[in-house]
Chains A and B, each alone.
Chain A
Amino acid sequence: MTNTDPIRFAHRHLLDIARLNATDINQILSLAEHYAEIARTPDKKRDLLRGKTQINLFFENSTRTRTSFELAGKRLGADVINMSVGSSSVKKGETLIDTAMTLNAMHPDVLVIRHGDSGAPHLLAQKVDCAVINGGDGSHEHPTQALLDALTIRRRKGRLEGLIVAICGDIQHSRVARSNIALLNIMGARVRIVGPTTLIPSNAAKMGVEVYNKMSEGLKDADIVMMLRLQTERMQGSFVPSIREYFHFFGLDKEKLSVAKPDALIMHPGPMNRGVEIDSEIADDLNISAISEQVEMGVAVRMACLDLLSRGTAA
């Protein structure tokens, strides 16, 4: 598909992957492919969103996701405002809905929200008149991350269907994992999750994945190995005993990777903890690591999402 094909994207918001279908996802990815090409040319700016206002409302610290959304909006010509919790009225006790109503009164066209509570973007979407993009909510979803991961995989492997994808680490608290599981299942990949029992949600198998507690089993013949970030506060003996034990059993190094397919691709949503979940030797090996490409595709995918949502084709 090229960008001149008719676009039918029947969604007002992008709240989670779970409510998209394969056609939606393919549309986003193809459009993103087009924006990825533009981003590699000297003239990156378009005026598709000229006159439109995008507010990035970040209740959690973020550098890469916020920057990525900001760049995506600016490259499409939108006016982009960043609000982060440290400098907002939220610190003064305002509720999420009041903040939403206040912002709504300023007539934005797109709200990108990141929030520590699962479901916060959904609440916001009920209260505002503009499009809402989930930039990560609690342990629920991070849809643009899954889309950029899918685009990266598609570019490297040519497809998603039938690939064996092992998502490793702290599945329990990961919105990246949930979005990726949903997307990869929709697109027909075989998803495995690998991690310590304490970081795998109960009933995980009901998400349509195979569950492993050993890297040697979970990584066997994998096409894609996705490492997740382990939050340091979870390492203080409550979920895992220590960093050295975690790295010993779940940190990705050459030896653990050796059971995967020879051309296996390594991904990480960032920021990485070197020596905790991933060995530098692997993270920095450009032949197997797609980590930089993920960041690049992030901007392209977010441009595609902003583009589609601003067309207003939803009922």
Chain B
Amino acid sequence: MTDIDRNLINSESVLKKPPKGDCYIWLSGLGLSLCLLMVFFIIGLIVWEGTRAFWIKDIVQITLNQDSQTHIDGSKILGGEIVLKQQKSIAEVKKSGDPNESNMEWQLYVGNKDHYGFSFFYIDAGDIKTITKPGQLIKIEREEYGNLIGYPEKIIIDNDTAIDSDSSIFEGQFSTLVNEVADRRDEIKKLEKAEIGKINRKIKSFQLQKRTTDDPDSLKGLEEKLKSLQKEYEQLAERASRLRQTQNSHKLQCRLITGKRIIIPLGSIINYHYPNQMSISDKLFGFFQNISNFIVSNPREANTEGGIFPSIFGTFIMTLVMTLIVTPFGIITAIYLHEYASKGVWVRLVRIGVNNLAGVPSIVFGVFGLGFFVYFLGGSIDKLFFSESLPTPTFGTGGILWASLTLALLTVPIVIVATEEGLSAVPRGLREAGLACGASKWQCLYRIVLPASVPGILTGVILAMARGAGEVAPLMLVGVVKLAPSLPVDGIYPFFHLDQKFMHLGFHIYDLGFQSPDSEAAKPMVFATTLFLILLVVILNLTAVTVREKLRKKYSMSAI
């Protein structure tokens, strides 16, 4: 072949064929874009729906056509927040056969569940005659039965004096009275939770002592103490019930949009506003207020109202305890496996076992946790240390400690694998340098290899945290509950109550979405809770990533 021939062949191949493997680049790019698209879609949906739940919407008053079949309690005037406007299914439109009927339907949040029997209502868009937004419409957040939507008419003070809503002092009076109610509610809560709770705990411990002592003298002393405590308790209970009575002494009379008159005690009002009178800045302020209330307050009404503070706190504490358990456990295991165990069939088997452990369905861990931690370990602890309170279990029932241990077991393979990777990533030169300086294997490991592999180890911890915080199935068996009476960490000695049941954001989502008596009302809460679960995981991860970056800078191995 001459040079000219060869050139010819080369130039032809350059012109005709694209380089081999080009289509695979496209394919991998496509995979990535699909992945990103899905992630952005789901994050976008959660953020949009989650934040929308806190926005204060206008309330509309709708008058329906006289000939329409739709009504609430016989009234053709109704109103509420417009939740969504949607196309009806074709089957539904055909079935009715009404020529006037529009193919659109509106879903309204009408509130007043105690009077209507429902809080969401569908109307046909074709039936609507007029829509107005009267400024007088008030939305009242109540302790029970969700929101009230209607026109305030008058405040009835102590069953005789009334302040009409037309009068100039109404607004001021109303707001002061509601503030007073809120203060009193805090006081009642403090009385019942903290002070009466304290006395209850004392009574309980004295009763336990009474059960165990045989000495008649100390028995007598205990009984006297119990009596005085009982007296104290009664006084406090009396004070609380008096406060409760005052809560209900003033009342508010309202007219619902349907025309019905109702009277509610002021004590049930948590918050109120006039959405139609609010400017954008008012609404923005209300929006942030709603978010902060959601974060810091306790849930009400089977979790469909109120906030999610106990869930956020429970998830946080559980993840923290889990991390504290899994990190040392995983690192120690990985060090032995990687550095000391002689490489053979056994170590290979153990490593395969560890990797497979990561693939076991999480519910299996839940069952194991229930059987081993709760019944066996917890039961033994109860028999040994808390035998006086049996048959009421202390540790022999689900609790945050057992949940954390179960999740630690679930996530330990992640930490082990990451630590082993981190250890192998340390250059051999560093180990040799340490040994050549006269360090023993342990000194070399502890002073050089481990610090240098900390970033890798932390990556494992981050992954474990993310997995642990989002896990729900095993928790349902080992200590998560729908509503926990108190937090696992509080100001009461011994401050950490690791035997206590707790609430969890993941379980909260499941409970709201699928176990709630009013799933429509819970829908915005599901999105909002999901948003906060994601935020919590992101915050935990960001913290760990920041720590890792700091350490990476410190132990950077770039020079080697």
A and B part of one assembly: no
Interface residues of A (CB under 8 A from B): none
Interface residues of B (CB under 8 A from A): none
